[in-house]
Amino acid sequence: MKVWELPISIDHLKPSFKVFRSITDIPFEKRPVLQVKADGEFNLITAEYSLNRWGTARSDYPAFNEISERLKGTDVKLLAELYAVEDNKPCKLPTFIHYIKSKNPADHEKIRIGVWDVLDMPNLSWIRRIALAEELLDGCQYAHVLPYFIVDNLMSARKIWEQFVDLIGYEGLVIRFNESIYKLKPFAEVDAMVLAYNKEKSLAEGEVSSLHIALMREDGTFIEIGDVASGLKSVEKKLLFSTIEFTRISEDASKIWVKPGIILTVRCTEFMRSVKNKVYRFKGDGYEVIGTESFYRLRHPRVMAFRPDKTVSPKDLSINQIPEGV
């Protein structure tokens, strides 16, 4: 695999997803398109390289070589999820990262390119764009269009969910109404940023057990969504602890406040309405409370994973991760 860096950002190409709480909330009378969602890395695919949002370009691995042959001589650019498979089932993101960084060519054969859109065809509907991608990739072994279905009833949607999410193990579904995009996962999850570490006895033992987390509003301010027990293994708690000296900016009686940058996926059983959530502005040397708002907190939250692939931005930490009206 060939890897190099390009001074190119593709963040603007990634859509902002809204969220459905349940499969029963989907308005099937609008005939949505349901597409399976892989747990992978967002990439732009051209005939020359696959490019992630960090500017890392890659080529010369089986999935890319296959798709590159189909793109040569065209100006087609694809948006895709790079992910890994084992035993014909999609893997979680950390496993993909292990394989994509591996020096072993056999590991690169586990990488798949799952296409979900075609760029620069604004006059075509998504269905027509993705049909063109399907035709282009017909017969490929490692590169493909992620499976999708037009549905008009709940029973059909549930069968798709059972087959691809419950049995095969995809991360969830993406639901499309023309250019409006939603996502649905088995559990309520948000990507949240760590505002502070809650001081506890375990802190003195070189571990972090409890975190104060927030989402980001469009104006760049942060709104708290509560505290979460780390739920991590001891070694991961120690890793969190080790970041304190590099990221701490202030300390009070109950918390050690840290610079924006640590992002975690947090799973919960439900979102609860809250009356007064503090709103913070980061000023470079600390956080300033600029008010309170009615928003949400998480019931029974648990940290699932570090998200080094996410950035401190309204897109990655969006308050829209929590559905309206829950």
Q: Single out the residue in 145, 167, 196 at which a domain terminates.
A: 145
Q: Does residue 232 fall inside a structural domain?
A: yes
Separation between Cα atoms, residue 80 and residue 124, nearest integer Å: 18
Residues 176-229 have pLDDT tens digits of: 997 789 989 888 889 999 999 888 755 666 777 789 999 999 999 999 999 998
Q: Does residue 160 fall inside a structural domain?
A: yes
CATH no. for residue 236? 2.40.50.140
Residues 142-188 have pLDDT tens digits of: 999 999 999 999 999 999 999 999 999 999 999 999 778 998 988 88
**Per-residue DSSP letters for 67-107?**
HHHHHTTS---EEEEEEEEETTEEPPHHHHHHHHH-S-HHH
Q: Does residue 136 fall inside a structural domain?
A: yes
Regarding whether 154 and 20 lie in a shared domain, the answer is: yes
Q: Does residue 202 fall inside a structural domain?
A: yes
Is the pTM for the entire model greater than 0.75? Answer: no
Separation between Cα atoms, residue 141 and residue 223, nearest integer Å: 45
Regarding whether 48 and 106 lie in a shared domain, the answer is: yes
The two structure tokens encoding residue 149: 């279905």
The two structure tokens encoding residue 275: 């009356």
The two structure tokens encoding residue 209: 């057990």
Instruction: Show the CA angle centred on residue 232, arms to residues 212 and 215, nearest 5°.
Output: 30
* Single-letter residue type at 319: I
Regions of the chain with pLDDT less than 70: 201-205, 232, 324-326
CATH no. for residue 47? 3.30.470.30
Q: Which domain holds residue 139?
A: 39-145
φ, ψ at 220 (rounded to 5°): 90, 0
Q: Single out the residue in 122, 145, 168 at which a domain terminates.
A: 145
Q: Does residue 2 fall inside a structural domain?
A: no
If one counts the domains in the chain, the total is: 3
The two structure tokens encoding residue 121: 């065809």
Q: Does residue 213 fall inside a structural domain?
A: yes
